[in-house]
Amino acid sequence: MKFTPYRRSTDRYLGEDSASRSLYERALEVMPGGNSRHTLVMDPYPIYAASGRGCMVTDVEGEERIDFVNNYTSLILGHSHPGVTEAVARVIGNGTAFSLPTEADIRLAELLIDRIPYIDQVRFANSGSEGVLLAVRAARAATGRSKIAKFEGCYHGIYDYAQASDSSRPRNWGDSERPATTLEPSMAKSLETEVITLPLNDIAVCSALIDEHRDDLAAVLFDPLPAALGLIPPDVEFVSALRAKTRECGALLIADEVLSFRIDYRGACHRLGVEPDLVSLGKIIGGGFPVGAVAGKAEVMKVFDHRGGELVHHGGTYNGNPVTMVAGYETMKRLTPEVFEELERLGDRTRSGIGEVLGRHGIEAVATGRGSLFATVPGNEPPRDFRAVFTARSAAPQLQRIAREMFNRGILMGARGLFGALSTPMGDAEIDRFLEAADGAAEHVLGA
C-alpha cells in the first residue's frame, strides 16, 4: 500500500506555544496528575480536544483527526449527531433534572427490554461502574450469599469487588490453577477471601473453584468480549458450561456489557448464545452522556422494588435524568439491524486490513474484536486467557508505538494501542485512511 505524504499533526502540540501543554500545566495545579481519569494519560501531556463533529475531532491546536476511540466506545453515532443534540436541546429548555420522575426513562427502558430477549426490567444509574456494582449487590440480595467470582485481568469499573484482580501481574498472580486475587493499595485486604479469581476458558479449573465456594458464591461476573484481554471472546463451549455450572450451584451469572453491547443489535450475550441472569450496561445507551444500568429477569430485579421490602436500596440524584435518557433513546432508536450490519462490515475490513498491514511489515499479530470493535494482540493465534495476552503484549511494544505514531497521521487512538471503535459516520474512506496511516506508522516505527 502506498501512503501519501503528510504533515506531522503533532508539531504544534509539541511546540513552544502548545495550547495543550499550557492547559496541562494548569490542570496539574488543580487535579492530581492533571486529570480525572487515567485513560487520558499521555506522554508528555494529553492532546486537548476543542470540538467534535461526526467522526472528526479538532484539538486546541486546530488539528483535525478521525476519531477511532469515540470516548472509549461510547459514541456509536459519532460526535454531535444532529438528531441527538436537537432532542437534548429541547429537553434542556424544559429542565435538566427533577425530584420527580419523567417519561424519558420509561421510553428508554421499554426500548432496551424490547431489544434484549432475556430481560424484563431495567434500573438506571450514571456509570458502567455503578451498573456492575448494582448487579453484584442484586445478586447478593437474591441469593443470600456474599462472595463473587470474576476473571483474571478483566476490568469491570471501579467498584472494589469488581476491580480486584484487574492489577494481576506475573509477580503477584499466583498459580494458574488457583489465581491470586490481587488488590490495589486502596482496597480492603478482606477482598482476598471475598473475591474468587478465575482463569478464562478453563472450565475444569473454574468448576473446581466454584465448587469450593459454592455455599457462599452469589455470582460469577464475566465480560463476553473483554477489552482488557484484547477483545478475545470466551469460547462458546466455555460460556455454555459456565452458564450450566452457575445454575447448578445456585449462583447468578452477571454479564458486563458496558462496552461490548455495541457489537450486536441485541447485545454481546445474544451474539454468544448465552442468557445471563443480570446484565450491566452503559456507554452507548446514554447517547454521549453519563449512564449506567442493570437489567434482568423480574424475579431477580425485584430486589430493588421498594414495595417488597427494598432488599437493595438504590438512590442517585441523577439516575434516569431526562437529558441522558432522551439522548440514549434517540441514539438507540437509530441503531437498526441494518446499521449494525454495516458497522460489522466496516469492522471486518478494519480487522483484516490491520492484519495485512502488520504482516507486510513482518509483525506477528492477531486482529481481534467483533462488530464495530477492533484490537490487535501480538502472536500468531488468539490467546485464550489473560496471562497469555499479558505475556504477548509485554514482548511486542511496537504495537503501542505504532498506535502513537498514528496521531501524527491524522488518526485519533487511545492509550490501549491498536484498539478502537467505529462509529456510524464512518465509511470505507475512513477505513482506507486508517489503514494508510497504520502502514505509514509501521514503516516509521520499524525504520526508526
Active-site residue list = 155, 256, 283
Residue type, 283: K
Q: Residues near 306 by Cβ (< 8 Å), separated by ≥ 6?
A: none
Count of residues making up the chain: 448
| Cβ–Cβ < 8 Å for 157, 258 | yes
Cell readout for 226 is: 473483554
| Cβ–Cβ < 8 Å for 246, 252 | yes
298, 253, 240: which is closest to 280 by C-alpha? 253
| Cβ–Cβ < 8 Å for 229, 389 | yes
Q: Which residues pair with 295 in a beta bridge?
A: 122, 279
Using DSSP's 3-state secondary structure scheme, residue 265 falls into coil
Residue type, 356: E
Q: How far apart are CA 205 and CA 178, in angstroms?
A: 8
Q: How many CB atoms are closer than 10 A to CB 364?
A: 12
Q: How far apart are CA 281 and CA 442, in angstroms?
A: 36
97, 101, 119: which is closest to 110 by C-alpha? 119
Q: How far apart are CA 320 and CA 381, in angstroms?
A: 43
186 burial (CB, 10 Å; 0-12 / 13-18 / 19+) is exposed
